[in-house]
């Protein structure tokens, strides 16, 4: 992908990712962008190095574009493809811009490069039934949302970031009869992964995980099985539901809180509407409290057909931010 053909402003140089030596400046750029937009996100060099080493569908040397000015990274974009369960080929993107370099046309140049790169990705998949660009935008990223809308993207789905501001007064929701929570053993890992995949197969935007995704998950920062709450059906020996809790110590230090994450919540279809999700969530909250956390967070699809928003509200979570997935049809040139 030629970098010079996307007409960045005078004094701005577009270039590919050069390797680990870029991480420190990329982290500085990303954190400045996050702080300006009040996203509460935060990166470290160690975290970025770990993430880039674990990418499955993104080759940074090919799929990252950096805008540089006088040796300083002003902004950068990254893109990667994946396929929904219904066969729609999606081309996702991530982008940040340091606040002092905004409103100069740099973002438009980076976005043009990224869409051209995604065109290349799509042309390599001629059998696909349809293609679409996709971007996740969190509340506060108003400049990025405006750029996307001017480029023809439209809001496709909304999500809430929810918070339980304290871990006092956790309600008591018992497990349904015939189910039990067992400590996670290494021999359970594949079954836990498969059960979550199965439970989400009909959810909006679901993309089946690959074997490479599974292997990456085993070594990911969110892989904290000592905190997980996994319910098994005693009679069938199958996993009925799960909450894969985790704690992000780096995020907590950056934001000055002690928050756990009540995430990766799923219940298999045969066990739904029996109160299992609530029972596992409150067990997760108690596990977070025992680990020294004082609050908890999660994200939810506001249009979830199984009433997830109501379930989370009944467990004490309230909406804190409204996020959005934007999409735009990708038409092969």
Give the pLDDT confidence of 234-250 residue by residue, as tens digits: 999 999 999 999 999 99
C-alpha–C-alpha distance, residues 180 and 61, integer Å: 47
Strand pairing class (295-301; 259-261): parallel
Asked if 231 contacts 180 with a C-beta cutoff of 8 angstroms, the reply is yes
Residue 331: count of CB within 10 angstroms of its CB: 10
Asked if 96 contacts 137 with a C-beta cutoff of 8 angstroms, the reply is no
pLDDT band at 130 (very low <50, low <70, confident <90, very high): very high
Q: Please tell me the total count of domains within the chain.
A: 2
| 260 and 202 both lie in a single domain | yes
| 144 and 40 both lie in a single domain | yes
| 304 and 171 both lie in a single domain | yes
C-alpha–C-alpha distance, residues 323 and 140, integer Å: 9
The answer to whether residue 229 scores a pLDDT higher than 90 is yes
Instruction: Give residue 6's pLDDT.
Output: 65
- Taking all residues of the chain, what is their mean pLDDT, rounded to a whole number? 95
Task: For residue 254, tell me if it sits in a domain.
Answer: yes
Residue-number span of the structural domain to which 62 is assigned = 4-152
Instruction: Give residue 306's pLDDT.
Output: 84
SS (H, E, C) 299-323: EEECCCCCCHHHHHHHCCCEEEEEE
| 166 and 243 both lie in a single domain | yes
Instruction: Give residue 4's pLDDT.
Output: 61
Asked if 55 contacts 171 with a C-beta cutoff of 8 angstroms, the reply is no
Core vs surface per residue 48-81: b (16+ CB within 10 A) or e? beeebebeeebebeebbbbbbbeeebbbbbbbbb
pLDDT band at 137 (very low <50, low <70, confident <90, very high): very high
Asked if 120 contacts 80 with a C-beta cutoff of 8 angstroms, the reply is no
| 187 and 294 both lie in a single domain | yes
Mean pLDDT of 44-67: 96
Task: For residue 331, tell me if it sits in a domain.
Answer: no
Predicted confidence (pLDDT) per residue in 4-25, tens digit: 666 778 889 999 999 999 999 9
Instruction: Give residue 222's pLDDT.
Output: 97
| 117 and 24 both lie in a single domain | yes
| 170 and 213 both lie in a single domain | yes
Mean pLDDT of 190-207: 96
| 166 and 271 both lie in a single domain | yes
Instruction: Give residue 53's pLDDT.
Output: 95
Instruction: Give residue 30's pLDDT.
Output: 98
Residue 206, SS3 per DSSP = coil
Mean pLDDT of 281-306: 96
The answer to whether residue 3 scores a pLDDT higher than 80 is no
Mean pLDDT of 320-332: 95
| 166 and 304 both lie in a single domain | yes
| 132 and 198 both lie in a single domain | no
Instruction: Give residue 176's pLDDT.
Output: 98
The answer to whether residue 2 scores a pLDDT higher than 70 is no
Instruction: Give residue 193's pLDDT.
Output: 98
Domain limit, last residue, from 87, 117, 152 = 152
Mean pLDDT of 307-328: 96
Task: For residue 326, tell me if it sits in a domain.
Answer: no
pLDDT band at 1 (very low <50, low <70, confident <90, very high): low
Task: For residue 68, tell me if it sits in a domain.
Answer: yes
Residue 120 to residues 80, 114, 185, 282: CA-CA distances in angstroms? Answer: 11, 10, 43, 46
The answer to whether residue 228 scores a pLDDT higher than 70 is yes
Domain limit, last residue, from 117, 152, 187 = 152
Asked if 234 contacts 180 with a C-beta cutoff of 8 angstroms, the reply is yes
Instruction: Give residue 311's pLDDT.
Output: 96
Instruction: Give residue 5's pLDDT.
Output: 62
Instruction: Give residue 278's pLDDT.
Output: 98
The CATH number of whichever domain residue 277 belongs to comes to: 3.40.630.30
| 273 and 200 both lie in a single domain | yes
Task: For residue 134, tell me if it sits in a domain.
Answer: yes
pTM equals 0.93
Domain limit, last residue, from 125, 152, 179 = 152
Predicted confidence (pLDDT) per residue in 81-108, tens digit: 999 999 999 999 999 999 999 999 999 9
| 54 and 81 both lie in a single domain | yes
Task: For residue 301, tell me if it sits in a domain.
Answer: yes
Task: For residue 146, tell me if it sits in a domain.
Answer: yes
Task: For residue 266, tell me if it sits in a domain.
Answer: yes
């Amino acid at each position: 992908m030629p970098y010079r053909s996307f007409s960045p402003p005078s004094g701005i140089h577009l270039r590919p990712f050069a390797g680990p030596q870029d991480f420190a400046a990329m982290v500085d750029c990303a954190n400045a962008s996050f702080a300006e937009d009040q996203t509460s996100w935060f990166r470290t060099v160690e975290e970025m190095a770990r993430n880039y080493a674990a990418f499955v569908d993104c080759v940074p040397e090919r799929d990252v574009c950096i805008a540089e000015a006088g040796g300083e990274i002003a902004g950068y974009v990254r893109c990667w493809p994946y396929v929904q369960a219904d066969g729609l080929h999606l081309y996702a993107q991530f982008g940040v811009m340091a606040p002092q370099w905004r409103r100069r046309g740099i973002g438009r140049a980076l976005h043009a490069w990224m869409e051209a790169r995604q065109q290349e990705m799509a042309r390599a998949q001629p059998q696909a039934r349809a293609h679409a660009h996709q971007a996740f935008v969190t509340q506060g990223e108003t400049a990025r949302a405006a750029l996307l809308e001017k480029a023809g993207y439209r809001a496709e789905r909304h999500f809430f970031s929810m918070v339980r501001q304290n871990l006092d007064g956790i309600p008591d929701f018992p497990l349904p009869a015939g189910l039990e929570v067992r400590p996670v053993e290494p021999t359970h890992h594949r079954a836990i992964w498969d059960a979550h995949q199965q439970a989400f197969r009909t959810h909006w935007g679901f993309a089946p995980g690959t074997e490479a995704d599974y292997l990456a998950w085993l070594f990911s920062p969110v892989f904290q099985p000592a905190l997980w709450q996994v319910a098994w059906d005693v009679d069938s020996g199958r996993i009925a539901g799960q909450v894969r809790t985790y704690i992000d110590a780096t995020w907590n230090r950056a934001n000055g809180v002690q928050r756990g994450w009540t995430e990766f919540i799923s219940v298999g279809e045969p066990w739904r509407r029996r109160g299992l999700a609530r029972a596992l969530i409150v067990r997760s909250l108690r596990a977070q409290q025992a680990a020294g956390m004082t609050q908890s967070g999660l994200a939810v699809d506001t249009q979830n057909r199984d009433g997830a928003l109501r379930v989370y509200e009944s467990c004490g979570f309230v909406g804190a931010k409204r996020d959005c997935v934007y999409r735009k049809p990708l038409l092969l040139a």
